[in-house]
Every structure is written in C-alpha cells, then in structure tokens.
Amino acid sequence: MNKIFVALCLLFLLEITYVASAGAATGVATATFVSQIPYPARAGDVVELRFKIENYGSADINDLTYQLVTNYPFLPISGEQYTQTIPTLLAYQNLDNAVIIKYRVQIASDVKEGSSEIDLKQIFSQGNAAVQSFPIVLSTSAFAHIIMDKAQLDPGRETPLKFTITNSGNSPIDNIVFSWSETNNVILPIYSDNTKYVKHLDAGKSVDLDYTIIADTSAARGLYQLTLTLKFDTTNGTQTLQTRAGMFVGGETDFDVTFAQSSAGQTSISIANIGNNPAYSVTVSIPSQPGYRVSGSQSSIIGNLDKGDYTIASFQLTSTGAGNATGPNQARGFRNFTGAGNFPGAAANISSPNVLKVQLDYTDSAGQRHTIVKNVPIDLRSSTTTTTSQTSQFGRQSTSFWTSPIAIAGGIILLVIVIGGFVIIRRRNAKNKLLVKKR
C-alpha cells in the first residue's frame, strides 16, 4: 500500500512540473552535425559541412547566429561566409522541419590521415556564446602516376627514354625513388643504372627522369613488359606504387639499293636489308620518271628479307634520252665513248652515272606498311660495250682500221695475189708432170 501511494505522489509531481514548464514558454536550440562532402575529406580538398539546427522549445527563437571557426587544418576560402544568422526558428521546428546551414572550407595539404575537430559557435544576443565541436574525417591524397614517352624500340640502337612522374594528389611527396626492370633483360639502361631519385615534388607538379636504353639485337621481335616501381614518403609514411608498361621491340628497317648490271635491255637492281629488323612482303617498283621507260611490269614482289639478306630484281629498262645527260658533252649532243680519256676533261664529264628512282614498299615487324624511295646511280652503257664506232671530241665518227676503205682494198689485193699465186703454182706443177711422162 505504501509503495502505491509513493508512485501516485511522484506522478502528480511530474505533471505539475510539465504544466509549470508549459506555463513559462522557452525556446531550446540545438545544433547537430549532418554530413561532410566528400567523406573522408582528402588533403587539399574543398569540403562542404552541413549542420542541422532544431528548436525543441515551446517558444520561437529570433536572430539565432552560428559561426564556424576556421582553424588549422580547416582553411577559409575567399568569398565564403562563416557567420550565418537564422532570422526566426519557430517553436518545435525540428526533425524534418529543421534548418540546415552549410559551410565550405579547404583541408590543408599536409594533414595526416585520421580525424580533426571543427568548432561551431552559437552566439547569443547578450554577446556570450556556446561552442560545440564536431569530428571531421580526413585522409591524405598523396598519389603519383607515370608516363613513358616511347612505346617502340629499334634493337641494337641507343634510344633515349623519358619517364614523367606527376604528383596527382593534393599533398606533396618526398624522397621519391623510381626504378624499372624487364624480366628477360632484353631491354636494359646504359650509361646509368635503372634507379633515379627525386627529393621533393609538390602537388600537381611533374618531374622528368631520362634514360638511354638499348635492346638486344638477337631478341625476338614483339611486346615486352616493363615493371615500374615508385616509392615516396608522405605525412602518413612511405607508400609504394608498382605498375606495368609495354615496350615493343622491332619496327622499321632500311635498305641499300644498288645497280647490279644491264644486258640486252635487262637491268638488275640489288636490294639489301641493312637495318636491324626484318622486312615482310617487300615490293620493288620503278615509278614513272623522266629519262627511263619500263617495258612490261613496273613492280616485282621479292617477299620477305631478314636483316642482312639481299636479293636481285630485274626490269626491262630502256633510256629515253630525256634528262640523262651527265656532262657538257652530252648537252651538246655528243655520244659516250670509251676513249674519252684521250681528251682533257672529257672523262669527268661523261663517266658520271645517271640516277634511277627505285621505290620499295614493305611491312615492318610491327605490322605497319612503309614506302621508301631510293635514288640509284646506274649506267646503261654496260649493255652496249661492243659498239664498233666511237665519237671524237670534235663530233666526227672515228672508224676502225679494219673497216676503212684502205683496209678493204688491201684485203682484196691480197686475196687476188693469193689466188693468182695458187693458180701459177698449180700450172707449174702440171707442166712438170707432163715433162716427166714424155721422158
């Protein structure tokens, strides 16, 4: 019975208190942290902070002022307002009807990962204030990426290679150690090792690391994998970034094209692969050009040529005479002759070979098609070295002794003498035989 009496007395007192509170209406404002965007806030980021202001009292609150305190690591942003006033916060304006206030601050670039408290100050009309602290979750943003300036390497040839390291985060990085390797040791650096060092790199900045590399000439043509390793220090310790990049060994080549021989209108061209890569589906052709005419096909398919290999391609090539004069004598209409050395200065003007344009089309070891045009010195006189007449310096035709009129007349006289002598001797022998029979 006593316990029931005590409980009834307490209930009565609570009701009195509630009524009393209701009789003296007051406003009670509270501030609650709602969110941060982004979450977590990275070093150097601009972050938006949202707070919910509620009134759990029975009276309106006027001119309610809040100020965000921007101390390190929260930095103020130019143009932003960090003191905001709510003209009227109605009685019981809470939950879904609460007022949301927003602030934007920047996170310092050298913060450590974790959380840091930011203060929100409620300022009263009398000038005094109440301060609430809210934790903001932070993370560092130290990150870097690597760019390589080449993707193809000609074996056996020294090639410059540049790696560009960029700090793509929002905080500086220190004590950078960069290295690269290729598992098969086909691609190696020369003049230095494979490791480079950088003391400091600010956010958003880049640094170039230069190497000279070379690929083994006996390496199989194809794609090789480079392993790239980057280590650096941040405010939260040492980080390691490891990634991969491809390098193609192979590609273009070069040719040596020379005149081989010319006989009976058939001109042969020698083609040698003097580069470090094979050439596939090689085609040799004589493009249209002044001074030469090709009878029949202008192209010849010679197939594949490994490095160091050579072959011969032949064409029915004739000279049209236009644009082939190689000296002053040809310009005057004089013809070439083998005895030019008998006249001062003639040999230098006449013996210079003509030039033939030769086109080569091939596919390199990377699958790309290329066209190369070579200027090839040639001399079509090698097909007419048995000529019977030559031209003197004065433009007159010089004739061989054996074809001159004197030689012909002499030959006829000699023939008559031989025949006459033969007849005389034969008659004399017949006469002697007759005398012997008469005896």
For the chain, the structural domain boundaries read 29-139, 144-249, 255-336+352-385
Could you confirm whether domain 144-249 is CATH 2.60.40.10?
Answer: yes
Express each pLDDT in 380-430 by its tens digit: 765 444 333 333 333 334 344 445 566 677 777 877 787 777 777 777 776
CATH entry, 29-139, from 2.120.10.80, 2.60.40.10, 2.60.120.260, 2.60.120.10: 2.60.40.10
* Domain range 255-336+352-385, CATH class: mainly beta
**SS3 assignment, position 183:** coil
- Mean pLDDT of the 215-237 span: 88
CATH topology match: 29-139 vs 144-249? yes
Q: How confident is the model at residue 326 (pLDDT cuts 50, 70, 90)?
A: very low
The predicted pLDDT at position 141 comes to 66
Q: How confident is the model at residue 338 (pLDDT cuts 50, 70, 90)?
A: very low
- CA–CA distance from 264 to each of 123, 305, 352 (Å)? 111, 28, 21
The predicted pLDDT at position 404 comes to 59
Contact yes or no for 89/53 (Cβ under 8 A): yes
Please count the other Cβ atoms lying within 10 Å of the Cβ belonging to residue 324.
17
* Amino acid at position 109, single letter: S
The predicted pLDDT at position 10 comes to 35
Contact yes or no for 103/82 (Cβ under 8 A): yes
Express each pLDDT in 71-86 by its tens digit: 999 999 999 999 999 9
The predicted pLDDT at position 405 comes to 65
Using the predicted structure, report yes or no on whether residue 3 has a pLDDT greater than 90.
no
Nearest to 91 by CA among 29, 32, 23: 29
Please count the other Cβ atoms lying within 10 Å of the Cβ belonging to residue 177.
15
